[in-house]
């Protein structure tokens, strides 16, 4: 490569890095001022599902594991966090931590039972295990049955910040979501993440190199479950409610929809997908139109037009232009 090509390469790289920095700054400023324009509780719902979809993408997009049981972690952690805050009078941090730890332990058990199966068999095992959690949520006395756990106190953050203020609650959830996304970003850009991608592409080749794919998949599944529980715990306390809606198999299907719609295997895709789905549900709820039908039609159109998801297609277009 001659000196002119090297100079051009550094010039393009510098422009891309500056564009990425400007984009991050713009998103940061937008999220900071958003509560002044949009109802904060709606933004909190988007943030929780953004983290949930990003956590699910860790197993689907990077490890190649299609799970139909992630609602068990999201909704199960919501019940534990709500119960810890309302009955045990845990502060906000410990209530969320309780839900997250519960989801991590449950994810480890689910993963240990299902991780050696592949394809549809893995998906069906996770679905069956999640349905067991749903049955327990209906039958256990502390869950409140169909009424759920209501009037969950938000408490104080670090004993100082009053989370009864919806704005304070928003910025707390925003901080938690950012922490979760940074953990995912660090995981997928580490040697661990590269091994996960290799397992997704050719598990036999990884095994021939002396590595144990089951161990890496179990770690990814447990981490994904913990972050899903983290999102569910924050949502339960922010909305002061833990209900059966968050633990049904429909919720597992919804997070799959979010991931595929935005573009799996990318960090931005689940964020885009979750924002689109939650936004559509919110604006269609007052329109009188059938929400499920409209979202399903929207998904079919997007799949036919954007085979890699919305962000996946945009990313491919930018790469082609850069090339």
Q: pLDDT tens digits for 24-45?
A: 567 677 878 878 888 888 999 9
Has residue 11 got a pLDDT over 50?
Answer: no
Most distant CA atoms of the chain, gap in Å = 73
For range 205-213, the mean pLDDT: 84
pLDDT band at 296 (very low <50, low <70, confident <90, very high): confident
- The CA distance from 199 to 206, in Å, is 6
What is each CA distance from 271 to 112, 137, 159, 212, 305, in whole angstroms?
Answer: 29, 29, 31, 31, 19
The β-bridge partners of 241 are: 150
Predicted pLDDT at 74 = 94
- Please, are residues 130 and 72 in contact by the beta-carbon 8 Å criterion? yes
pLDDT band at 203 (very low <50, low <70, confident <90, very high): confident
Residue 263, helix vs strand vs coil = coil
Residue 275 lies in a domain: no
Cβ partners under 8 Å of residue 113, min gap 6: 125, 129
Range of the domain at 195: 38-247
Residue 155 lies in a domain: yes
Predicted pLDDT at 12 = 43
Q: pLDDT tens digits for 298-312?
A: 777 776 776 666 666
How many domains are contained in the chain? Answer: 1
Residue 66 lies in a domain: yes
pLDDT band at 172 (very low <50, low <70, confident <90, very high): very high
Predicted pLDDT at 6 = 44
Residue 123 lies in a domain: yes
pLDDT band at 10 (very low <50, low <70, confident <90, very high): very low
Q: pLDDT tens digits for 50-106?
A: 999 999 999 988 888 888 889 999 999 999 999 999 998 899 999 999 999 999 999
pLDDT band at 7 (very low <50, low <70, confident <90, very high): very low
Q: Which residue has the higher pLDDT, 228 or 211?
A: 228
The average confidence (pLDDT) of the chain is: 83
Predicted pLDDT at 117 = 83
Residue 232 lies in a domain: yes
* 317 burial via Cβ count (<10 Å: 0-12, 13-18, 19+): exposed
Q: Which residue has the higher pLDDT, 279 or 131?
A: 131
pLDDT band at 21 (very low <50, low <70, confident <90, very high): low
Q: What is the pTM of this model?
A: 0.87
Has residue 13 got a pLDDT over 60?
Answer: no
Predicted pLDDT at 134 = 92
Q: Which residue has the higher pLDDT, 254 or 13?
A: 254
Predicted pLDDT at 18 = 54
Residue 9 lies in a domain: no
Task: Please state the length of the chain.
Answer: 323
- The CA distance from 270 to 273, in Å, is 5
Residue 21 lies in a domain: no
The β-bridge partners of 149 are: 242
Has residue 236 got a pLDDT over 60?
Answer: yes
Cβ partners under 8 Å of residue 256, min gap 6: 56, 60, 66, 68
Predicted pLDDT at 51 = 93
Residue 27 lies in a domain: no
Q: pLDDT tens digits for 92-143?
A: 999 999 999 999 999 999 999 988 888 788 889 999 999 999 999 998 888 8
């Amino acid at each position: 490569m001659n000196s002119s090509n090297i100079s051009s390469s550094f010039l393009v790289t510098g422009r891309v890095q500056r564009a990425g920095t400007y984009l991050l700054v713009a998103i940061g400023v937008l999220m900071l001022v958003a509560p002044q324009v949009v109802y904060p509780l709606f933004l909190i719902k988007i943030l929780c599902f953004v983290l949930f979809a990003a956590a699910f993408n860790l197993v689907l997009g990077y490890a190649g594991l299609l799970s139909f049981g992630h609602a068990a972690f999201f909704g199960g952690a919501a019940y534990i966090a709500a119960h810890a805050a309302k009955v045990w009078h845990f502060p906000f941090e410990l209530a969320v931590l309780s839900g997250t730890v519960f989801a991590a332990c449950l994810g480890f058990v689910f993963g240990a039972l299902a991780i050696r199966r592949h394809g549809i068999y893995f998906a069906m095992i996770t679905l069956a295990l999640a349905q067991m959690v749903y049955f327990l949520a209906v039958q256990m006395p502390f869950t409140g049955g169909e009424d759920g756990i209501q009037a969950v106190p938000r408490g104080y953050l670090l004993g100082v910040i009053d989370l009864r203020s919806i704005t304070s609650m928003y910025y707390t959830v925003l901080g938690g979501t950012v922490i979760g996304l940074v953990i995912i970003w660090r995981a997928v850009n580490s040697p661990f993440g590269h091994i996960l991608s290799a397992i997704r592409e050719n598990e036999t080749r990884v095994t021939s190199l002396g590595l144990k794919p089951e161990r890496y998949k179990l770690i990814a599944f447990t981490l994904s479950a913990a972050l899903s529980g983290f999102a569910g715990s924050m949502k339960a306390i922010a909305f002061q409610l833990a209900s059966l809606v968050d633990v049904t198999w429909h919720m597992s299907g919804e997070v799959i929809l979010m991931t595929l719609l935005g573009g799996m295997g990318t960090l931005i895709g689940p964020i885009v997908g979750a924002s689109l789905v939650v936004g559509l549900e919110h604006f269609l709820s007052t329109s009188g139109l059938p929400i499920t039908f409209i979202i399903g039609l929207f998904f079919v159109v997007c799949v036919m037009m954007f085979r890699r998801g919305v962000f996946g297609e945009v990313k491919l277009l930018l790469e082609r232009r850069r090339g």
